[in-house]
Amino acid sequence: MSEKARAINSIDERSTIQTDPMRGFRFRATFKEAQNVKSVFDPRVKSFSGGFSGISGLNISTAPIPYREGGYNTTVHNVPGLTTFEPVTFSRGFLYGNDSAITWMRGLFAASSGEGYNVNDTGSNGFRCNVKIELMDHPNAGQTTNTPRVGFFLQNAWISRLSYTDLNAGANELMYETMTLVHEGMTIAMLDANGRVTGNDQPSISGF
């Protein structure tokens, strides 16, 4: 291939929507039962999907453990230590009739006080859930539906903080609901058009 043809192909690859970087403004989150317990939101359903204005805290960090080795007095070795997953914060406009977050928080109160977690009379439920955050492809003329491309999977998440916008009669703003979740693991995977993990080298995600 000539240098001119190679340059044209390179320009074409950079210019298509399919090869552009992912947009960070089209996403949705799905909360699903964990550890074979019933839904933490509603005893009648096993999952809950919702749109959010912002999701932050998708971070993973591993602390290094430095050590010195005899005979090597000028440098310090580092080995990987504990891996931590930062709390993830979900923000959205507060909707009348949507009490899933406060229901989850009330269940956590019951669990921490030793009363167990009961959302109905049919049995006891856990307060953890798995969360899938899907990043959608950019809409274009040849695409009429939301197509998930990247998935962030949070394991064994539970709500640790719930807050609302301050009430101010003189303000011209919407009321926002913000909940913070702690979790025990995050996996990132490429998704097919049906939202399933794709590729032989992709991790296996249970529960979704």
Q: Which CATH number belongs to the domain containing residue 151 in this structure?
A: 2.30.110
Q: Given pLDDT bands bounded at 50, 70 and 90, which one contains residue 123? A: very low
pLDDT for 193 beyond 70 = yes
pTM of the shown model: 0.78
Residue 124, pLDDT score: 45
Write the pLDDT tens digit of every residue in 46-91: 567 778 999 999 999 999 999 998 888 889 999 999 999 999 999 9
Average pLDDT, the chain: 79
Structure tokens of 98? 């949507």
Pairwise CA distance, residues 191 & 28, whole Å? 14
Going from the C-alpha of 116 to that of each of 40, 62, 74, 100, 120, the distances in angstroms are: 13, 34, 56, 18, 12
- Count of domains forming the chain: 1
Residue 141 has pLDDT above 90, yes or no: no
Position 149 scores a pLDDT of: 86
Q: How far apart are CA 182 and CA 161, in angstroms?
A: 9
Domain-embedded: residue 1: no
Q: What is the pLDDT of residue 121?
A: 41
Residue, of 77 and 126, whose pLDDT is higher: 77
Residue 4 lies inside a defined structural domain of this protein: no
In a domain, 206, yes or no: no
At 89, which amino acid appears?
T
